[in-house]
Structure 1
């Protein structure tokens, strides 16, 4: 979670852009991101320099000829020299980092240096130089905060998934995944590519043997993302590039409108937090998606898309607003019925409403299911998350008692969950019971609360106590009267 200190630094940089003449919030985010990317390239090269002591075959980002473009060198130039370097060399350099036909090159082709003056560039570079971005979570949190400022400015109002929730979901879905060179991980609304980045990191940290069996091209072929916004697709590509995925499969399309046969039955794992509360006309949505359930609500349309896009045997963990779990419209019920009776619904994890604060206060849940097209589960695991490791107010400061380690432990050992009762944080519910409840998937429908028994005195005892109190009051009043009359 982003610290107040980093928030303050970002706010100052944002304000500097605005006072320096860039008033479009999206332009601020893009230019800010380009500079962070350039700084991160220098950090990546420093790590490469260390690796080259052991392995001389490691590929450099900066050759001897373009060392002057490294952040540590360009940031020392005078304002005018720095500005000239950015205008004539820097953007040309970053556009040529990957192969011509790579996704990164495609999205960077239209990238433009839009900082208007040398003075503004130097100010912003000096401020970014003070940001400590070495921690791999910090850049993700920084993007999350930047995008929240877009929402505040009324532009592209999406709120981003907290890093610790992304990491939890990636671990839940990848810990037992059988990953081969043909495995495909997808996020249909990828934003800055948080789910994909965390999948990359989890595989590198916990399935390192896979890296020995796959070529770099095969490893890059595991990850797919899409975002409707060209700026988000560009940021996602830069983020993937910083994690050594040069040819990331990041597309910039309207996933709901452009869904076609090539996307059906394609992916082994889908991790997503698609946009909530949007609405589209029917003619803006692909027929294949409407075939699942006819609806205009984007949160339902994305669930339908995932049902279509998964391979048989493929799995998903998707964040949805609570309304998806209990909504009473025909489309809500049809989609829940499809997941419960025709697919293998594995788990529902209810999250507290403060998880997305300060950006949004909506209550959400994670739905986990496996596409089977005809084979349903006999029971579903529910977990009532009450603490995600941060306070649930707008400050979202770290606190003790996070449920996340417990969720991971219990989910990985579901065979031990069968004896739990519905008064516990987690429990199983039979599919038959869910079907009888009109496919309601809200945890409160099934959770039992044990109320503390409170014993009350009998009415006669209460009256006796009142009489005693009244008698003491009467005595006190008489004593006061006597004092007054003296």
Structure 2
């Protein structure tokens, strides 16, 4: 069974159910059922290796005891199945008791179901969905790893539901960043807005080749940490790590911005931080109070950059995706963040990404900042990754691939300045040059291209994004003026 056909079969069944409204709800329904199936398969393995293993899930609610259809007429279906799921199964899993001594491998069940709902109203169709999911043998190593990419398919389907607000970082981008940062088994790797776990799973795939012993496997199992604010991506990330043979997926369901940055200690810091922070959003004033005055920003991505700096260990490395607005932004908070980054960290490389990498989510241009906590910045290299030959845009059907990063990867190992016509494609700037230019990092940008004619919907979306960004900059400047005037404007 292919991943695409698996998802399609489930969605085709659920389209006949009056209770499920749109692909976003269909996918949410698939995810919590899939989690229970995957978790049951993991429990089979844990039971095999530990005769004393006790499940945190009450016996009657374990997948094997209610979901499996033995074709003997005894499997729950129809109203009986609906009543069981709505009145017993989900409430029971929501109310599982955990404490600080509960292993992560068990407590994830409660956290996974904190915001879970059953949308289906037809118990016969629900039985059909359960049966399709039960066909997959997640105890089989090959079949389990064949399904490692299932979440990319789910997120690609979510792309069509723009109102869902889910942002998907293409696998090629996460793999490229990981390969440049080169995490090691001894490293603790973190993503404080991990979504479905793309950076974490790319890191695990990179680390897998370093596993040669039982001790290595233990280090692999404890290598990654994530925080995710939204319920659905959090559940996706947990299940994704289970599929990658992480027995204790340390993914917290919460907001990484809620803790005061001054309170972070050494135990809160990580060797490697890889992120695509959410941008375009704003946080309430109580969140901004967790940051020093000069670092308080109305832009979510700015606040995450500050968190990253406070949580990166000495000699640690970071690979962070940020929009163009961060590079050229000149409001007080952005300037303070960039100044802190360059004075306290070594911002050694910025890769300018071509447009439409994140299509169809957004047309905003993005960049990858690579830095480490070794010494203050002395010089920063900029490299412009151009659109591959034969491409005008990336799209859902023609996404960016790892091979498209080949020019940047080749340049990375043998850095030289490159000029094409009158435009710099790769160039090194000293920290003095950058600071004297008011920390404007908008360097080695893309030559002015002939304006593309967009269809009306894309044109409106592009206009709305640009207007939102400009409004934020104006609001930030007005807020600074208001402070200078003593709160009167």
Equivalence for 2:150: 139
1:228 equivalenced with 2:229 (yes/no):
yes
Q: Please, which of 101, 104, 111 is the counterpart of residue 103 of structure 2?
A: 101
1:281 equivalenced with 2:284 (yes/no):
yes
SS in 2 for 1:354: coil
1:202 equivalenced with 2:206 (yes/no):
yes
Aligned equivalents of 1:212, 1:262: Cα separation in 2: 35
Aligned equivalents of 1:281, 1:418: Cα separation in 2: 44
Aligned equivalents of 1:336, 1:105: Cα separation in 2: 40
Aligned equivalents of 1:386, 1:195: Cα separation in 2: 23
Contact 1:186-1:267 at 8 Å conserved across structures = yes
Equivalence for 2:177: 169
Contact 2:352-2:367 at 8 Å conserved across structures = yes
SS in 1 for 2:15: helix
Aligned equivalents of 2:341, 2:325: Cα separation in 1: 15
Matched ranges for 1:361-372 at <5 A: 361-372=363-374
Equivalence for 1:52: none
Equivalence for 2:64: 69
Q: Please, which of 120, 123, 140 is the counterpart of residue 118 of structure 1?
A: 123
Matched ranges for 1:369-380 at <5 A: 369-372=371-374, 375-380=376-381
Aligned equivalents of 1:323, 1:261: Cα separation in 2: 26
Equivalence for 1:430: 430
1:269 equivalenced with 2:309 (yes/no):
no
Aligned equivalents of 1:15, 1:226: Cα separation in 2: 32
SS in 2 for 1:355: coil
- Residues 42-86 of structure 1 deviation map (CA, whole Å, 9 limit, x = unaligned): 88799x79xxxxxx85999999x9999399953967696356679
Structure-2 change in CA distance of 1:272 and 1:201 (3 Å): same
Structure-2 change in CA distance of 1:45 and 1:345 (3 Å): same
Contact 2:77-2:123 at 8 Å conserved across structures = yes
How far does residue 365 in structure 1 lie from its aligned partner after superposition? Answer: 0.9
Aligned equivalents of 1:401, 1:112: Cα separation in 2: 35
The alignment's TM-score, normalised by the length of structure 2, stands at 0.71
Q: Please, which of 333, 336, 342 is the counterpart of residue 334 of structure 1?
A: 336
Equivalence for 2:241: 240
Please give the root-mean-square deviation of Cα atoms over the aligned residues, in Å.
4.4
Aligned equivalents of 2:400, 2:369: Cα separation in 1: 26
Matched ranges for 1:281-360 at <5 A: 281-287=284-290, 289-291=291-293, 293-360=295-362
How far does residue 322 in structure 1 lie from its aligned partner after superposition? Answer: 1.0
Aligned equivalents of 1:104, 1:14: Cα separation in 2: 27
Aligned equivalents of 1:361, 1:343: Cα separation in 2: 30
Contact 1:280-1:297 at 8 Å conserved across structures = yes
Larger radius of gyration: 1
The alignment's TM-score, normalised by the length of structure 1, stands at 0.71
Unaligned runs of 5+ in 1: 50-55, 450-486
SS in 1 for 2:315: strand
Aligned equivalents of 2:10, 2:260: Cα separation in 1: 37
Contact 2:94-2:110 at 8 Å conserved across structures = no
SS in 2 for 1:224: strand
The count of residues paired between Structure 1 and Structure 2 equals 422
Equivalence for 1:480: none
Structure-2 change in CA distance of 1:353 and 1:421 (3 Å): closer
Aligned equivalents of 1:388, 1:69: Cα separation in 2: 52
Aligned equivalents of 1:259, 1:405: Cα separation in 2: 40
How far does residue 363 in structure 1 lie from its aligned partner after superposition? Answer: 1.1
Aligned equivalents of 1:197, 1:303: Cα separation in 2: 22
Contact 1:388-1:403 at 8 Å conserved across structures = no
Aligned equivalents of 2:394, 2:237: Cα separation in 1: 29
SS in 1 for 2:295: coil
Equivalence for 1:387: 388
Unaligned runs of 5+ in 2: 137-142, 449-489
- Residues 184-206 of structure 1 deviation map (CA, whole Å, 9 limit, x = unaligned): 2111111111111221121013x
Equivalence for 1:22: 20
How far does residue 247 in structure 1 lie from its aligned partner after superposition? Answer: 1.9
- Residues 260-313 of structure 1 deviation map (CA, whole Å, 9 limit, x = unaligned): 5554551111111111111123322343x3455221111111111111111122
1:185 equivalenced with 2:185 (yes/no):
no
Aligned equivalents of 2:392, 2:52: Cα separation in 1: 43
How far does residue 364 in structure 1 lie from its aligned partner after superposition? Answer: 0.8
Contact 1:225-1:249 at 8 Å conserved across structures = yes
- Residues 206-236 of structure 1 deviation map (CA, whole Å, 9 limit, x = unaligned): x224x543463x4333211111123332332
How far does residue 15 in structure 1 lie from its aligned partner after superposition? Answer: 3.1
Structure-2 change in CA distance of 1:58 and 1:420 (3 Å): farther
